[in-house]
Chain A
Amino acid sequence: MTALGKVVRTTAFKLSAIYIAVFSAFAVAFVLYISYSANALLTNQLRATIAAEIRGLAEAGRTGGIAAIFRIIEERSHQPGASLYLITDLNGRILAGNISQVPADLFQRSGMGPITVSYERNLGEGSQHVAMVQVLRLPGGFWMLVGRDIGEREQFREIIGRALAWAVALMIALALLSWFFVSRRVLQRIDSVAETSRRIVAGDLSGRLEVTGTGDEFDRLADSLNTMLERIEHLLYGLKDVSDNIAHDLKTPLTRLRNRVEAVLSGPVDIEAYRTTLEATIEESDRLIQTFNALLMIARVEAGSPDGAMSEVEVGAIVRDVAELYEPMVEEDGAELTVSVPEPITLKASRELLGQALANLIDNALKYALPDGGRPLQIAVSATGAGNYLALRVADNGVGVPETDRERVLQRFVRLEESRSQSGSGLGLSLVAAVARLHDGTIELGDNQPGLVVTVRLPIKTG
Chain B
Amino acid sequence: MRILLIEDDKEAAVYLCKALREAGHVADHASDGDTGAAMTLEGGYDVLVVDRMLPKRDGLSIIEDLRARGDETPALILSALGQVDDRVTGLRAGGDDYLAKPYAFSELLARVEALARRRRPGEAETVYRVGDLELDRLGHTVMRAGQNVPLQPREFRLLEYLMKHAGQVVTRTMLLENVWDYHFDPQTNVIDVHISRLRGKIDKGFGEPLLHTVRGAGYMIRDSAR
Q: How far is the CB of A320 from chain B (nearest CB, A)?
A: 11
Give, as a whole number of angstroms, the nearest-CB distance from B88 to chain A.
6
A contacts with B, residue count (CB < 8 A): 32
A293 touches B82 (CB 8 A): yes
> Within the complex, what minimum Cβ distance (angstroms) separates A287 from chain B?
10
Chain A residues numbered 289-308 whose CB sits less than 8 Å from any CB in chain B: 289-290, 293-294, 296-297, 300, 305-306, 308
Contact A309/B84 with A293-B185, A328-B197, A332-B193 known, Cβ cut-off 8 Å = yes
Q: In the complex the two chains form, what is the Cα distance from A296 to B154 in whole Å?
A: 31
Pick from B142-150, B163-171, B176-184, B202-210 the stretch touching chain A: B176-184
Question: In the complex the two chains form, is B154's CB within 8 Å of A324's CB?
Answer: yes
Docked-complex contact B184 and A325, CB < 8 angstroms: no
User: For residue B186, which residue of chain A has the nearest CB?
Assistant: A359
**Stretch among A56-64, A103-111, A349-357, A380-388 lining the B interface:** A349-357
- Least CB distance, A211 to chain B, in whole angstroms: 36
Within 8 Å CB of B182, what residues of A?
321, 325, 352, 355-356, 359
**Contact: B185 with A363, CB < 8 Å?**
no
B73-84 contact mask (Cβ, 8 Å, vs A): 1 or 0: 000000000111
Please name all residues of chain A whose beta carbon is closer than 8 Å to the beta carbon of B196 when the two chains form the complex: 328
A360 within 8 A of B: yes
Check A445 for interface membership: any CB of B closer than 8 A: no
- Contacts of B102 on A, CB cut-off 8 Å? 289
Interface size grouping (class) on chain B: 20 to 34
**Given known contacts A309-B85, A353-B84, A328 and B183 CB-to-CB distance under 8 angstroms:** no
A455 to chain B, nearest CB (A): 21
Indicate if A315 sits at the interface (CB-CB under 8 A).
no
* Contacts of A335-359 to chain B: CB distance below 8 A: 350, 352-353, 355-356, 359
**B residues within 8 A CB of A321?**
180, 182
Q: Does B190 contact A (CB under 8 A)?
A: yes
Q: Which residues of B contact A297 (CB under 8 A)?
A: 83
A424 contacts B by Cβ under 8 Å: yes
Query: Which B residues are CB-close (under 8 A) to A306?
Result: 85
| Residue A428 lies at the interface, judged by CB distance under 8 Å to chain B | yes
CA distance A360 to B186 in the complex (A): 8
Q: A286 an interface residue at 8 Å Cβ cutoff? A: yes
With contacts A286-B104, A325-B190, A328-B194 taken as known, whether A359 is within 8 angstroms of B184 at the C-beta atoms is yes
Known: A289-B102, A352-B184, A355-B182. A305 touches B190 (CB 8 A): no
Is the beta-carbon distance between B88 and A309 smaller than 8 angstroms? yes
Q: Which residue of A lies closest to B197 (CB)?
A: A328
Complex: A61 Cα to B184 Cα, angstroms: 117
Q: Are A360 and B82 in contact (CB under 8 A)?
A: no
Smallest CB gap from A301: residue in B: B83
Asked if residues B83 and A305 are in contact (CB atoms below 8 Å), the reply is: yes
Residue pairs across A and B with CB atoms within 8 Å: the count is 65
Partner of B193, one of A300, A328, A352: A328
- A350 to B184: give the CA distance in the assembly, Å: 12
**Closest residue of A by beta carbon distance from B103:** A289
Residue A366, interface by CB 8 Å: yes
Say yes or no for A326: interface residue by CB 8 A criterion. Answer: yes
Contacts of A308 in B (CB 8 A): 85, 88-89
**B100 contacts across to A, CB distance below 8 A:** 293
Which B residues are CB-close (under 8 A) to A309?
A: 83-85, 88
- Of all chain B residues, the one with the shortest Cβ separation from A294 is B185
A424 and chain B: residue at smallest CB distance: B187
Contact A325 B185 (CB under 8 A): no
Contacts of B216 in A (CB 8 A): 282
Verify A360–B183 contact, CB threshold 8 A.
no
Q: Which residue on A lies nearest to B155, using beta carbons?
A: A328
A52 interface residue per 8 A CB criterion: no
Interface residue A329 (Cβ < 8 Å from any Cβ of B): yes
Chain B residues whose CB sits within 8 angstroms of the CB of A324 once the complex forms: 154
- A residues 395-454 touching B (CB-CB < 8 Å): 424, 428
**Chain B residues positioned under 8 Å from A293 (CB to CB):** 82, 100, 185
On chain A, the residues within 8 Å of B84 by CB distance are 305, 309, 350, 352-353
B89, B185, B216: residue with the most chain A Cβ atoms closer than 10 Å: B185
B106-162, CB < 8 A from A: 154
Q: Which residue of chain A has the shortest Cβ distance to B104 in the bound complex?
A: A286
Nearest to A425 among chain B residues (CB) is B187
Q: How far is the CB of B196 from chain A (nearest CB, A)?
A: 8
The docked-state distance in angstroms from the alpha carbon of A300 to that of B193 is 31
Residues of A within 8 A of B188 (CB): 329, 363, 366-367
Chain B neighbourhood of A286, CB < 8 A? 104
Assembled-state Cα–Cα distance A293/B154 (Å): 28
Q: How far does the alpha carbon of A161 sit from the alpha carbon of B199 in the complex, in Å?
A: 106
Q: Given A282, A332, A352, A363, which contacts B186 in the complex, CB threshold below 8 Å?
A: A363
Docked Cα-Cα span, A300 to B81, in Å, equals 11
Contact A428 B185 (CB under 8 A): no
For chain B, residues 54 to 113, give those with C-beta under 8 angstroms from any C-beta of chain A: 82-85, 88-89, 100, 102, 104
Instruction: Contact check, B185 vs A360: say whether CB atoms are below 8 A apart.
Output: no
A129 → chain B, closest Cβ, in Å? Answer: 91
What CA separation (Å) do A332 and B192 show in the bound complex? 11
Q: Are the C-beta atoms of A325 and B88 separated by less than 8 Å?
A: no
Residues of chain B lying within 8 A (CB to CB) of residue A352: 84, 182-184
Show 28 residue pairs from A and B whose CB-CB distance is below 8 angstroms, ordered by the A residue: A282-B216, A286-B104, A290-B187, A293-B100, A293-B185, A297-B83, A306-B85, A308-B85, A308-B89, A309-B85, A321-B180, A325-B180, A325-B182, A325-B186, A328-B190, A328-B193, A328-B196, A350-B84, A352-B84, A352-B184, A353-B84, A356-B184, A359-B186, A359-B187, A360-B187, A363-B186, A366-B188, A428-B187
B: which residues have CB within 8 A of A?
A: 82-85, 88-89, 100, 102, 104, 154, 180, 182-190, 193-194, 196-197, 216
Ranked 5 nearest A-B pairs via Cβ: A356-B184, A328-B193, A329-B193, A308-B85, A309-B84
